[in-house]
Amino acid sequence: MLYAIISEDVPNSLPLRQSARPAHLRRLEALRDQGRLILAGPLPAVDSEQPGDAGFTGSLVVAEFPSLEQARQWAGEDPYQAAGVYASVTVKPFKAVLP
């Protein structure tokens, strides 16, 4: 089943994101290589694909996991969690309808 992982950043998270980004991306790339990643990306703090120093307010990942518990476990092991980037993380079942 698909799950949406919606993460909200702590204020001024950009330096924390930058330090943990390589490890964070490696985990996402592993999901992609397994054919389980639907989409992933950050939520810019301003209306721009390149927010610069404004940084990001969170992240969205949609991926396939065997269960809600396993999706929550995967989200809890994110390097951004360990680095203190996220203030909160919500994991919900997701049903893709379009496209």
pTM: 0.95
Model pLDDT for residues 27-44, shown as the tens digit of each residue: 999 999 999 999 999 999
What dihedral angle (degrees, nearest 10) is formed by the CA atoms of 87, 72, 5, 37?
A: 140
Q: Using 50 as the pLDDT threshold, list the residues of the chain that sit under it.
A: none
Report the distance separating Cα 66 and Cα 82, nearest Å. 24
Token pair of 40 as six digits: 């992933």
What is the structure's pLDDT at 16? 97
Q: 3-state DSSP call for residue 99?
A: coil
